[in-house]
Amino acid sequence: MHRNLRTFLDLLRKENEIVPIEAEVDPYLEAAEIHRRVIDQGGPALLFKRVKGSAYPVVTNLFGTARRIELAFGPKPEALVREFVHLAESLLPPRSSELWKHRSLALDALRLGTRNTRRAPVTEVLDRPAKLNELPVLTTWQEDGGPFITLPLVYTENPLTKKHNLGIYRLQVYDSHSTGLHWQIQKGGGFHYQEAEAQGKPLPVTVFLGGPPALILAAIAPLPEDVPELVLASLLAGEKLRMTGNPLGGHRLAAEAEFALVGFAPPNERRSEGPFGDHYGYYSLQHAYPVFHVESVFHRPDAIYPATVVGKPRQEDFIIGDYLQRLLSPLFPLVMPGVRDLWTYGETGFHSLAAAVVRERYGREALVSGFRILGEGQLSLTKFLILTDTPQDLPDFPKLFEHMLARVRWETDLFVFSNVSMDTLDYTSGEVNEGSKAIMLGLGQPVRDLPREFRGELPRDVVYAEVFCGGCLVIQGVPYEREPEQAGRLAREPIFSEWPLIVLHDDVEVARSAPLFLWATWTRFEPAADIYAAQTKVERHHLSYHGPIVFDARTKPGFPAELVVRDDVSAMVDKRWREYFPRGL
């Protein structure tokens, strides 16, 4: 729909979906706090026209509402995906009548992919050597290790197969010509770097900033490895993506990008990266990552720097993630035939919790689909997977959870897998990239009536108890440091025997909001360390749990700090609010 960022911004202006900020704004903390407040209000995109220390304006919150997602892409991508799935399902066996009915797909397919062009605004200016210090790179949280490029479209190619990857991997700017490359596990760019490093060779890297909105969304999409993101970008855009040759040689460049950073990541070089306030709502800690050496920067003469701000859900990435799930979810049954529906919860950082509706045509078939999900690309990083065989509105978590708690047989339907890989940003195990997973089944007919009100006297050291949903009681206990064993003790308390699940928290208020409950529970809970039961037996080498079950979601020692805006930054933005928005939002 949009050839570049400029046409999208023009439409946002026409639709009153973007507000220019004329007052000078500091890229250190101030711009990010303005952005967060506008996101919280469901407000417009923001164009910061005067950014301290830089000649380039900054645009943020491009996709922060469903309305702007609609303006960026329209209904056609979702309709195309649904039609493709219908065609694939109806062509077994192939019939000429069905092919003719879907003949328009052939025309759409001709518009997928890339095409070369000589008209390339991105190549109009060349900075060589690179001058990253002139970019208006934001520092979004006070404990961050430095400024981070937060919407970099990082392009690499596999040294062996030449297949490409386009992903968003944050870049900590170290100086005028180098950044960190935050390649987490299970990321395509990281796999390319491993191949190059094994050969002792540098990996060429090109980073695009801006360009067609479709290019940005394609870089975010959790596609399977070797599925080309540039094809998805053309699907979203409704036309082939314009690419141009790099005048200096190397990767082709996205012709309509605002900036293109060109360089390489040498083998066996690591540098400390972080901390960074990330989308889990906490600081990811400092670790060693590869280094991106930027040799040159191409850009438009009047380039606009795009950025986003992440933090405690819900932020802009939450809106984008939900859209991509709706777009791609019809494909899941084609890739994983036993999976009828699948949803990951952005409130938990996406990887911490997923739920699926699966087939159960014979006993325990659901586990076949469960293992298939946990073996699929980035879904393999899922920490807790809920499976049911009954159609559900999966985003409605309280309703889904009641359905599960009425059916789960803890003795046979909860599986915990220890010593497995886990999302890099999840620190609940106390280790990096290592932890545990769990699968919870809720199949067939209900096996219990769920309690919906707590009556009785609370045990010692339990301050409050509040119902989250039928069958799930949230308890406010004592700090973990004071009594690490409290969860195990509470599981054996007779007063809780009728409750299938108890969730132990530092603050009972999380029970009053589904988004808060999801965030506070699954970002502070690791299955192998934090599940307790009234009784646990080993039966046929399976851990058989006898309820009630207790999840210990209290904050543990050594856990990264929660993201909180610094008081002086909050006060400054309060004071200057009318300068930013003299006419209001």
**Dihedral sign of CA atoms 223, 229, 231, 232 in order:** positive
Tokens representing residue 115 in the block: 């095409």
Among the listed residues 10, 144, 278, 413, the single catalytic one is 278
Render 73-88 in DSSP notation, one character per residue: H-SHHHHHHHHHHHHH
Tokens representing residue 268 in the block: 């066996």
Contact 486, 460 (CB under 8 A): no
Q: Is 41 left (phi over 0), alpha (psi -120 to 50) or beta?
A: alpha
The residues, any chain, with a CB within 8 Å of residue 230's CB and separated by 6 or more, are 113, 114, 164, 166, 218, 241
* Exposed / middle / buried, residue 118 (Cβ in 10 Å: 0-12, 13-18, 19+): exposed
Q: Residue 402 belongs to what H/E stretch?
A: helix 397-405
Query: How far apart are the C-alpha atoms of 10 and 3, rounded to whole Å?
Result: 12
Told to judge if 278 belongs to the known catalytic residues of this protein, a careful annotator would answer yes
* Exposed / middle / buried, residue 99 (Cβ in 10 Å: 0-12, 13-18, 19+): middle
Tokens representing residue 414 in the block: 């909860």
Tokens representing residue 163 in the block: 């297949």
Render 126-160 in DSSP notation, one character per residue: EESS--GGGS---B-STTSSS-EESS-EEEEE-TT
Nearest partner of 181 among 294, 295, 310, 291, judged by Cα = 291
To 10 degrees, what angle do helices 5-14 and 66-73 make?
120
What's the CA dihedral at 477, 483, 486, 487 to 10 degrees?
90
How distant, in Å, are the alpha carbons of 84, 447, 525 from that of 469? 38, 17, 19
Nearest partner of 307 among 60, 584, 565, judged by Cα = 60
Partner residues linked to 270 by β-bridges: 290
Tokens representing residue 47 in the block: 């164009």
Tokens representing residue 53 in the block: 């220390």
SS3 state at 414:
strand
Nearest partner of 324 among 508, 78, 141, 40, judged by Cα = 78
Query: How far apart are the C-alpha atoms of 214 and 94, rounded to whole Å?
Result: 32
Query: How far apart are the C-alpha atoms of 173 and 147, rounded to whole Å?
Result: 6
Query: How far apart are the C-alpha atoms of 516 and 220, rounded to whole Å?
Result: 24
Query: How far apart are the C-alpha atoms of 35 and 392, rounded to whole Å?
Result: 35
* H-state helical runs in 446-534: 486-491, 514-522, 527-530
Catalytic residues: 278
